[in-house]
Amino acid sequence: MTARFAEVELRVDTSKLVPQDRQALAKLVAAAHVIDDIFMKQYWSGDRDLYAKLAKDTTPLGKARQRYFWINKGPWSALDDLRAFVPGVPDRKPLGANFYPEDMTKKEFEDWAKTLSKEQKEQAEGFFSVIRRQGGKLHSVPFSEEYGADLLKLAGLLREAAALTPNASLKKFLNLRADAFLSNDYYASDVAWMDLDAPLDITIGPYETYNDELFGYKASYEAYVNLRDDAESAKVQFFSDHLQEIENNLPVDPKFRNPKLGAQAPIRVVNQIIATGDGDHGVKTAAYNLPNDERVIQQKGSKRVMLKNVQEAKFKTILIPISKLVLPASAQADLSFDSFFTHILAHELTHGIGPHQITVGGRATTPRQELKDLYSALEEAKADVSGLFMLQYMFDHKLLPGGPEAERKLYTSFLASTFRTLRFGLHEAHGKGMALQFNYLKEKGAFLANSDGTFAVDFAKIKPAIRDLDHELLTIEATGDYAAGKAMLERLGKLTPELEGAIAKLKDIPTDIDPMQSTL
Ligand code: ZN
């Protein structure tokens, strides 16, 4: 089970930080470790005791259990539908984690919630409280009380870091976040996080609600301590500055183009120093979009943070070995993390262009509303293909250094990445959208199957094929044509025997990484 997670070392160069930020960093790393403690309390009531017990078992089995526990931050395996991998615990992770009494049913909660005042109900169903039972009756307890001692420690560390850093936006965020940990009101600090722009970057607090599988109400604590990647941030800015030009040239009927793009969600590229809590269990996060609080999103939008060195570690430990099995040896030299990552940036940016506000039969609507269940897969494919289109456009117009080598690297790295995505299956949007692209490009002769079971790119055919595919996808979105989208996905969004054979060869390649995090 642990072999599916390849150990990697995450390296970050902190030498350019000013001395005060280096001191602040040590405080933030200490704060991140406190987050692990809180997260384990949230995940399961027996989590910390079991971990302490496993740590005492020095047999090889005991050590393996301890390591796998730490990867999952609990006794249930994320890659195996959260089934238990040690004896003496519930067979599967409790749906409500430790946010609710373990014996509470959904109905009991709902019946109770109906009896509450509007304000009490908001707290009971809110992100930042747990539900406990006392004398048989349910009541809600704010995080600031439930995890009071840990949060006091956290607030102290954040304030110490705030006093050290010379960066005003970081100082402001850390002080407001420290207040939030104690007051249980996260709004002002979430707003300050949107404005955070500092060499030393941090995300810390209760955020995602996935561990509350009962209702999806309760937020788990996580921390990411990062360094901003200035070169990649400059690249994002350069791309953003050219986004309108790309929109004006998209391969779609000009009447569907948007002459004035609105403001785009900001993208930050960082390198992760340490991730803890909910940000470090099961499959490792490579990018995140936060916050989730609709009130903040209404006022400030949300921000996408991309963890470049995590993506690079996944590229080296997963994508390179995949490519050795599905690409010919002659193509290996063209695999490039830089091309791969630049395409991911282009993918994220092109989600923001193309049809978003459309008219169908005189009605103002959106592609999402018209394409319904098909939308996610088609939109993911559109972002991949439009991202390739955008980079090719920038090569052709001398906005990026192009030429045959740059093109070989871009399309070869893309071909290898299709297998990584397809490996996760077609049950979700990225996999289905990727099968559609692969099969379309194969039909057009842009991807070729070699007789030895490997695949290759036809570099003359791929450029027009990408244009044509982008034209089809953008037109389906622009016209909200559900029938056309369905026909396209039914025909192409599947695994051919040839693809299945290629994916079967990948079974021994690690699924994910297990970063060895240094604490400086
Ligand atoms: Zn996407």
Report the pLDDT value the prediction gives residue 264, as an integer from 0 to 100: 82
Ligand 1: distance of its center to the CA of 354 in Å? 14
Helix or strand holding residue 8 (H, E)? strand 5-9
Predicted pLDDT at 413: 97
Compute the distance from residue 374 Cα to the ligand 1 centre, in Å.
Answer: 14
Is 264 in a helix, a strand, or coil?
A: coil
Q: How far is the CA of 288 from the centre of ligand 1 (A)?
A: 11
Which pLDDT score is estimated for 520? Answer: 46
Q: How far is the CA of 422 from the centre of ligand 1 (A)?
A: 15
Distance 430 CA to ligand 1 centre (A): 7
CA of 215 to the centre of ligand 1 (A): 26
Mean per-residue pLDDT, 203-209: 96
Reading the block at residue 206, the tokens are 């209760």
Give the CA-trace dihedral at 489, 495, 497, 503, to 10 degrees. Answer: 160
- State the distance from the centre of ligand 1 to the C-alpha of 211, rounded, in angstroms: 23
CA of 347 to the centre of ligand 1 (A): 6
* Both structure tokens of 77: 């395996």
Measured distance CA(405)–CA(383) in Å, rounded: 23
Note the pLDDT tens digit of each residue in 368-387. Answer: 999 999 999 999 999 999 99
What's the 250 CA to ligand 1 centre distance in angstroms? Answer: 18
For residue 136, the 8-state DSSP code is T
* Ligand 1 centre distance from Cα of residue 383 (Å): 6
Strand 303-307 relative to strand 358-360, pairing: unpaired
Please compute the mean of the pLDDT values over residues 402-411 and round it to a whole number: 96
Q: How far apart are CA 175 and CA 330, in angstroms?
A: 54
d(CA 486, CA 370): 12
C-beta separation of 22 from 219 below 8 A: no
CA 25 – ligand 1 centroid, Å: 31
Contact 253, 475 (CB under 8 A): yes
pLDDT of residue 138: 97
State the distance from the centre of ligand 1 to the C-alpha of 384, rounded, in angstroms.
8
CA of 286 from ligand 1 middle (Å) equals: 13
pLDDT reading at 519 higher than 60: no
Cα-to-centroid distance, 435 and ligand 1 (Å): 15
Q: Determine the average pLDDT of the residues in 391-414.
A: 97
Q: Cα of 239 to ligand 1 centre, how many Å?
A: 17
516 vs 215: which has the higher pLDDT? 215
Measure 386 CA to ligand 1 centroid, in angstroms. 11
C-alpha 379 to ligand 1 mean position (Å) = 7
- Cα 429 to ligand 1 centre (Å): 9
pLDDT tens across 427-485, in order?
A: 778 889 999 999 999 999 999 999 999 999 999 999 999 999 999 999 999 999 999 99
Query: From ligand 1's centre to the CA of 214, what distance in Å?
Result: 27
| Whole-number Å distance between alpha carbons of 421 and 29 | 32
Helix/strand/coil for 217: coil
Residue 516 forms beta bridges with which residues?
A: 9
Give distance in angstroms: CA of 330 to centre of ligand 1: 30
- Rounded to the nearest whole angstrom, what is the distance from the C-alpha of residue 309 to the centroid of ligand 1? 19
DSSP 372: G
Element (H, E) at 131: strand 129-134
What is the average pLDDT across 411-425? Answer: 92
Strand 5-9 with 137-142, pairing: unpaired
Per-residue model confidence (pLDDT) at position 123: 95
Average pLDDT over the chain, rounded to an integer: 95
CB 267 within 8 A of CB 287: no
Q: How far is the CA of 316 from the centre of ligand 1 (A)?
A: 21
| Confidence class for position 249, pLDDT limits 50, 70, 90 | very high
Q: What is the dihedral of CA 240, 293, 206, 167, to 10 degrees?
A: 50
CA distance 149 to 154: 9
Mean pLDDT of 36-56: 97
Contact 339, 405 (CB under 8 A): no
Reported as a pLDDT band with limits 50, 70 and 90, residue 518 is low
Of the listed ranges 209-218, 240-249, 419-428, the least confidently predicted one is 419-428
Ligand 1 midpoint to CA 33 (Å):
31
**What is the per-residue pLDDT across 9-18, written as a single tens digit (0 to 9) for each?**
998 989 999 9
d(CA 496, CA 504): 12
Residue type, 38: I
Tell me the CA–centroid distance for residue 97 and ligand 1, in Å.
29
> Coil, strand or helix: which one is 287?
strand
Q: Are 8 and 310 in contact (CB under 8 A)?
A: no
Secondary structure (3-state) at 40: helix
Q: What does DSSP assign to residue 260?
A: S
pLDDT at 424 > cutoff 90: no
Task: Please give the Cα distance from 51 to 43 (Å, whole number).
Answer: 12
Q: How far is the CA of 495 from the centre of ligand 1 (A)?
A: 21
Q: What is the pLDDT of residues 99-117, one digit of tens each?
A: 999 999 999 999 999 999 9
DSSP, collapsed to helix, strand or coil, labels residue 228 as strand
Residues 143-153 have pLDDT tens digits of: 999 999 999 99
| Lookup result for tokens 């004006």 | 248
Which residues lie at CB < 5 A from ion ligand 1?
A: 383
In the reported structure, the alpha carbon of residue 382 is separated from the centroid of ligand 1 by a whole-number distance in angstroms of 9
User: What is the Å distance from ligand 1's center to 343 Cα?
Assistant: 11
Asked if residue 406 lies in contact with residue 392, where contact means CB atoms within 8 angstroms, the answer is no
Instruction: Check residues 430 and 163 and name the one with the higher pLDDT.
Output: 163
Position 434 scores a pLDDT of 95
Spacing, Cα 307 to ligand 1 middle (Å): 15
Q: How far, in Å, is the centroid of ligand 1 from the Cα of 351?
A: 7
The Å distance, Cα 348 to ligand 1 centre, comes to 6
Q: How far does residue 356's CA lie from ligand 1's centre (Å)?
A: 15
- In angstroms, what is the span from residue 280 Cα to ligand 1's centroid? 22
How far apart are the CA of 117 and the centre of ligand 1, in A?
40
Residue located via tokens 């309760």:
218
Quote the pLDDT of residue 426.
84
The confidence band for 301, taking pLDDT boundaries of 50, 70 and 90, is confident
